[in-house]
Amino acid sequence: MKYLLLGLLINMTGIMHARNLELLGLPGWTIVSDVKDDSIPKGEVIIEGNVKMFSSTLPLSDVRIGTSSNETLTDSLGNFTLNAKANDTLFYCYRSGWSEIYELNPNFKSKHRITIDVYLSQERQIMKKPVIYLYNNTPLKAQVNIVPKGEFTFTYPKYDNGWNVSVQPNGGIIDLKSNKEFPYLFWEAETDGLFFDFTEKQMEGWIIKTDTCISFLENQLSALGLNEVEQTDFITFWAPLLSKEEYAVVQFLLDDAYKNSIADIAISPQPDAMRRVYLLMAPLDNAFIGINMVPQSFAPFQRNGFTVLEWGGTELNFLDLKF
């Protein structure tokens, strides 16, 4: 199983003291006390403490505190008590949308009571490389406005209350402000709360073996209506990210779902045909996620006249699927 290392602070002994956390200005966890307690059965350990938001020090509820043998949730005040085994090989603190903290082989001592303080930071998700292609058989001036469900982190050419462009018959896009030609319009943004669309028992999408990701993407992108140039741009960016682990969960958000979850778009004049494709993916080290996967099907896309195609994606934390 892959565990994210976000927010974990360790020194040579595996523990970082609280005063050093404050000096570093980073989230993490520290042991407040570790004492022997003869009331605890041999071979067991009790871990207790409090979890707070790093940004405000307010208590953080519903954080999963666990080891290899047991798990609990923090209460409304951020407090928890966990009964665990001294020989547990994993300790973790996790809440969806927040940084994860974990330690392998924590070396708990039998019959000990350990008190810790934990500070978690909220994760921001990156809308990676959304790019917008514009096509028309004759030169056409257009204005493109994007409103992401988050905040821009980068645009190219520079987004200045929109892009004013001239669409060229060869597929090029001339930015009228800089008079430079681009193959597409590029933007990225930060957001939070983005996740797969699924029910308790079922999810539309795929679990793929990542050594087949290129043929998988070629087939799906063709079905979605991307041309060879668009497919090449997509695959050369996403295939390496999909291949981080042996498996990956994949789901596409299309058109209205893209608008509702990723970004609204307004183009003048109105396109004759538009397709928006957004990839949600999460690397996995095994093919089991406890949800029935149903392959997605896509309505065909016909290019006609002034045509717009946009694609982007986000890498998600697969641990969210476990809970």
pLDDT profile of the chain (323 residues), mean per 10: 29 30 54 95 96 84 93 95 95 81 88 94 77 97 95 94 96 96 95 80 92 96 97 96 92 96 97 98 83 91 97 81 44
Answer yes or no: is 272 within a domain: yes
Cβ partners under 8 Å of residue 201, min gap 6 = 291, 292
Q: Which amino acid is at 276?
A: R
pLDDT of residue 122: 66
Q: How many domains does one find in the chain?
A: 2
Residues of the domain holding 261: 125-322
pLDDT of residue 47: 96
Distance CA 79, CA 75 (A): 5
pLDDT of residue 88: 94
pLDDT of residue 312: 96
SS3 14: coil
Question: Among 75, 101, 120, where does a domain finish?
Answer: 120
Answer yes or no: is 100 within a domain: yes
CB-count burial class (<10 Å; 0-12, 13-18, 19+) for 137: exposed
pLDDT of residue 10: 29
State how far the alpha carbon of 151 is from the alpha carbons of 139, 141, 173, 234, 243, in Å: 32, 27, 24, 23, 28
Clarify whether residues 107 and 132 are in a common domain: no
Nearest to 6 by CA among 108, 155, 123: 123
Question: What pairs with residue 262 in β-bridges?
Answer: none
pLDDT of residue 222: 97
For residue 46, what is the domain's CATH number? 2.60.40.1120
What's the token pair of residue 82? Answer: 């966990």
pLDDT of residue 288: 77
Clarify whether residues 112 and 134 are in a common domain: no
